[in-house]
Structure 1
Amino acid sequence: MNPPGTATAYDGLPGGIGVSRLRVYDWPTADGLRGGTPHLHLTCSEGYAVTGGRGAVQTLTASGFEETPLAPGALVWFTPGTIHRLVNDGDLTIVVLMQNCGLPEAGDAVLTLPPRYLADPALYRETVALPATGSEEQLAGAARRRRDLAIEGFTALRSAADAGDARPLAAFHRAAAALVRPLTERWRERWLTGAAAASAATGAQLARLESGDAAYLADATVRAERPTAHGRFGMCGRLDVYDARPA
């Protein structure tokens, strides 16, 4: 990779983000709602551009629980550390914008499983992993089981927060950080070739313009991508996935 500030080209999505199309699960849950798997990200902000249907995103932070309605045209985003759960009130479809393309897929998400799963890294990873192969029914069953476990943990965290007890949420934050700590070196490599490279390219372009040099404009490129996967079982629903990484 070119050193920061020297490369004037970056051909990933603007800002080094990732993008996917999400159809939120409509599976019922123990609390009578329908929707996805509660989780948080440790280094990635996440945005929703709602394109269809109705629903809400439930969030839990150190400031407490909130529920934000989602309808076509809504744009909602939240920062790392926000536990979020999508609720589907009918055909909820979202374009998801994710900071640091590639990091969520590399493990930058921790599900709100009950504490006994978080305390054992091997058990946690076994529980959240979906089968590499299997029928549609088998994959759906595995995704639904992990979703229901995460809702169990989320419900306990929310109840404690509603009662004014911040200790369970703080303990979850510590457990989540411990789970991903072995992955951070690889994440840094992805960040350097993604969002950091995108930002550095802008700095290099500004420097060239300040010196009156427009030659880099002749290197402009165009990319067009189709989904690399359709209907993949994700944490919150079925995903159409795009390759937005730099070439």
Structure 2
Amino acid sequence: MTGLFPGGVAVTDLEVYDWEAADGCRGGSPHLHTASSEGYVVGGGSGAVQTLSAAGFEEHPLVPGDVVWFTPGTVHRLINGGDLRLLVVMANAGLPEAGDAVLTFPADVLDDPEAYATAAAVTPGDEAAARARRDLALDGFAQLRAGGADALAAFHARAVRIVQPRIAGWRELWESTVAAETTRVGEQLTALAAGDPGRMATASVTRAQPRSAARTLGVCGRLRTWEWPAG
């Protein structure tokens, strides 16, 4: 059986957008993840990640060698200070691609499913649409910063309503991958404790295949991604 990437995570090679926004900062679209934690390993350049969480607004500098991660519900915005490049490590491989991320659009867009879907969609290669999506998310991000804890709580509630129809599918995916891998680790520990090599007898090596030869336009920047085994 083909194994998952260690821990059932996914990795993405990210070149953060250098598009200047109205506030003079260059970077991507602020958003959160509703179920998955996310980590950054900084490989080059410099910048920062702005966050909104229970701790309020914070800005965390990013330079090569830094490792930063955050839990679901943390609103985050990447700032490119110059050639910022990250290896993004995302929990629950498959869930982010299935809609785990919610962008910080203004409340009227978040409350209208059709308007949200239209604003979030970007045709491959359409940089103008990706920039418009980023700018709309920044409008909502500014409102969240000004509104404090109450505004963040309201955004969390709206994010839940957006993703709620997808949860059954997410659970099925999670149970067949990350949860199944955790179960297999437990079984391996039991085998080892009994003096049995267990899964070591069927050890294997897997090479992931790139999804595209060219980078795609993601929420935060230009992405190189890979196809991950289903477990």
Question: TM-score normalized by structure 2?
Answer: 0.96
2:145 is the counterpart of 1:158: yes
Give the 3-state SS of the residue equivalent to 2:35 in structure 1: coil
Query: Counterpart of 2:192?
Result: 209
Q: Distance in 2 between matches of 1:44 and 1:239?
A: 18
Alignment-derived partner of residue 227 in structure 1: 210
Residue 218 (str. 1) matches residue 184 (str. 2): no
Matches within 5 A, 1:83-98: 83-98=75-90
Q: Name the CA shift for 1:10/1:79 in 2 (closer, same or farther; >3 Å).
A: farther
The gaps in structure 1 that reach 5 residues or longer are 1-8
TM-score of the two chains, using structure 1 as the length reference: 0.90
Give the CA deviation at 1:123.
1.2
Amino acid at match of 1:34: R
1:102-148 Cα offsets, whole Å, 9 max, x none, are 100100000000000011112101110112x5xx3xx1011110100
Aligned to 2:5: 13
Distance 1:216 1:154 in 2: 47
Give the structure 2 partner of residue 36 of structure 1: 28
Query: Relative to structure 1, is the Cα distance of residues 215 and 43 closer, same or farther in structure 2, using a 3 angstrom cutoff?
Result: closer
Q: Which residue of 2 aligns with 1:173?
A: 156
Partner of 1:246: 230
Moved over 2 A (4+): 244-247
1:32-63 C-alpha deviation (Å, 9 max, x unpaired): 00000000001000000000000000000122
Aligned to 1:236: 220
Superposed counterparts of 1:66-81, under 5 Å: 66-81=58-73
> 2:50 maps to what in 1?
58
Identity within the alignment, %: 51
- C-alpha distance in 2, partners of 1:10/1:16? 12
Letter in 1 for 2:36: C
Residues 10 and 198, structure 1, Cα contact 8 Å, conserved in 2? no
Structure 2 Cα separation of the partners of residues 160 and 240 of structure 1: 35
Q: Could you tell me how far apart the structure 1 residues matched to 2:146 and 2:26 are?
A: 19
Q: Assess if the C-alpha contact under 8 Å between 1:50 and 1:70 holds in 2.
A: yes
Change (3 A) 1:245 1:226: closer
Larger relative contact order (CA 8 Å, sep ≥ 6): 1
Return the offset for 1:158: 0.7
Cα deviation, 1:182-228, whole Å, max 9, x if unaligned, reads 00001001111221112111101011112221143110010112422
Query: SS of 2:129's equivalent?
Result: helix
Taking only aligned residues, the RMSD between alpha carbons, in angstroms, comes to: 1.2
Name the SS for the 1:95 alignment partner. Answer: strand
